[in-house]
Amino acid sequence: MTASLWARPIEALAPLIRAGKVSPVALTESCLERIAAHDGKLMSFICVARDALEQARQAEARIKRGDRLGPLHGIPVGIKDNYLTEDMPTTAGSSAPGLQFPMRDAAAVARLRAAGAVLIGKTRTHEFAWGNVTPPVRNPWDLTRVPSGSSGGSGAAVAAGFCAAAMGSDTGGSIRMPAAACGVVGLKPTFGRVSRDGIVPHSWSLDHAGPLTRTVADCAHMLQVLAGYDPADPACQHQPVPRYAKALERPIKGLRVGVCRNHFFERNQAEVQQAVEAAIYDFAAQGATVVDFRIPNLEYGLAAIFAIELASSTAYHDVSLRKGLTAHFQPDVRTLVEMGRFVSAPDYLKAEQLRAVLIEDFRRAFERVDVIVGPTTPITAWKSGEWTVRVGDRDESVLAASWRFTFPYNLTGLPAISVPCGFDADGLPIGLQIAAKPFDEMTLLGAAHAYERTHEWRERMPQLA
C-alpha cells in the first residue's frame, strides 16, 4: 500500500488519514522515498525538510490522541523557494552574495501548517520568480525539456508524485505555465484572495499566491485553507470565503462559456489548438452555451505587463543594482532587472491606464459569459536550452510565446486555472485555461472540475523509472 500512496490526490488521502486508514508517516515516507529515487534527475527540490518525518509522526500522534485535525492533516506539501519559512532557508532561487531572507513563515505557509500539512521541502524557482525555465529543474514527462516556470520546481514535484500539492507564485503565469507543461492543475486565485505576506516580491501589483495540485478538487481544498483576509498584505481583501468543495457539485448545463477569439487563438501549435477546441466542444456537449467574443485591446497587453513588471522588479532590486550585485544574478535575470531602468514613469502609468481599460473590457465580457476558456500556453514544454520555438508559421521566442495567454489575467487580477486537456504527439501535456470574474473561484472551480471529471487526463502520470 505504501508504494502507491504518493500517487493519490488530497481528495482521496485526507478522508483516509482522518479515518486512521492511511498513516501520515507512511505517506510522507512514500514521498521521501520517491524524492530520493528520482529527484536527482528532476532537481525539483532545493531543500528537503530534515524534519519531514518528525512532522508526520506528530501528525500521527495527534490522530491517535483524538485531537481536532486540520483539513490538510498529514498531507505532504512543497513550498516554492520564494516563500519565507521559519525552519528552512529561503533563497528565491538566487546564489548572489549578500542576500539574506528572514527565517519566518509566510502567511500562506503559516496557514498550511495550521491546517496540518507536512511541509516536505522547498521547491526550486527561476531566480526571483523572473523567468519561465527554472533551471536546473527538468520536466518529468521528458527530462530533456523544461518544466516551464517560474514555479517549475512545484510543477515537476507534483507531477512526479513527490508531494500531493505545492505552492507557487504567479506574476505573469508562473503557476499556470508550469502546471500546463507538467500536466497538473494550477490555480491563480483573484488578486487579493490569498495573502502574499512573506513571499519575496517580484512585482507588487501582479504577484499572486496559489497552489499546484493533481486535481481540481485538491485546488479547492488548498484554496479553502489559503483564502482569507490578512492585513499584512496591503492588497488582500475582506471578502467572504465560500465552501469551495461545494463548487465541485455544480452542473455545467446552462454555464455560459466564453471564448475570446482574438489573442488566445491566433497563433498556437496545432495540437494545442486541437485539444482546446475539443475541450470547448465538450463543454457545449455537456450543455454549456459557448459565446465567442473579442477583446482587441489585448494587443497592447504585452507592453503593459513588461512596463509594470520590469519597473517593479527593478525598484525592488534597486539596492542590489546600485551596489553592482546584479552582476551575480543569472544572466537572463540580470538583464531583465537592469532593463527596468529604461521604462519611463509615463510609460509605467500608461501601462496602468491600459490595465484599467482591459479590466473594463473583461467586465463587459463577463456580462455575457460566466467563464472564459482558452489555451494556457500556445506551446507544450520546449527543450532545455532552446530560446525559440516553432509556433504556427513562424519561429518565436519562448519568453514571448509562453506567457501570452496567462499575463492578461495578471493584468486584470482575475482568477484563472490551468487543467490538463490532452497530450501532444510527443506525450507532452497540454493545458486548458479557465478564467472567471473577480472572487468567483466557485464558478471557476466548478467549470474546471466539470471538464476534468469527464476526461481521464488526471489518471496519467509520468514514467520516471
Partner 1 sequence: MDKPPLDPFEDILGVNFAPERLEHNLGAFRGILAEIQKLRQLDLTDIHPAVIFEPTAAYRRKSDQ
**Site residues (CB under 8 A) for partner 1?**
205, 229, 231-232, 234, 299-300, 302-304, 306-307, 310, 335, 338-339, 341-343, 347, 349-357, 359, 397, 400
**Strands ordered across the beta sheet of 76-80:** 45-48, 118-123, 76-80, 165-170, 208-213, 185-188, 416-423, 429-436, 371-375, 256-260, 289-293
Tell me the closest approach of the beta carbon of residue 358 to partner 1, in angstroms.
Answer: 9
Closer of 10 and 416 to partner 1 (Cβ): 416
Comparison of 81 and 230: residue with beta carbon closer to partner 1: 230
Least distance (Å) from partner 1 to the CB of residue 178? 23
Q: Which is nearer to partner 1, 292 or 299 (CB)?
A: 299
Is 80 annotated as catalytic? Answer: yes
Nearest-approach distance from CB 238 to partner 1, in angstroms: 9
Which is the catalytic residue, given 80, 122, 188, 437?
80
Cβ neighbours of residue 408 under 8 Å, at least 6 residues apart? 263, 298, 301, 358
Catalytic annotation on 205? Answer: no
Comparing CB distances to partner 1, the nearer of 212 and 310 is 310
Q: How far apart are CA 309 and CA 312, in angstroms?
A: 5
Report strand pairing: 289-293 vs 256-260: parallel
Shortest spacing between CB 228 and partner 1, in angstroms = 12
Of 150, 154, 203, 313, the active-site residue reads 150
Could you tell me the three cell numbers for 389? 520555438
Comparing CB distances to partner 1, the nearer of 220 and 435 is 435
| Shortest distance, position 401 Cβ to partner 1, whole Å | 13
**CB of 409 vs partner 1, minimal distance in Å:** 14
Residue 174 annotated to the active site: yes
Q: Which of 23, 148, 169, 174 is catalytic?
A: 174
User: What cell does 110 get?
Assistant: 503559516
Distance from first CA to last CA of the chain, Å, rounded? 19
Spatial distance between the Cα atoms of 333 and 335, rounded to a whole number of angstroms: 5
Give the nearer residue to partner 1 in terms of CB position, either 252 or 307: 307
Q: What residues are labeled active site?
A: 80, 150, 174
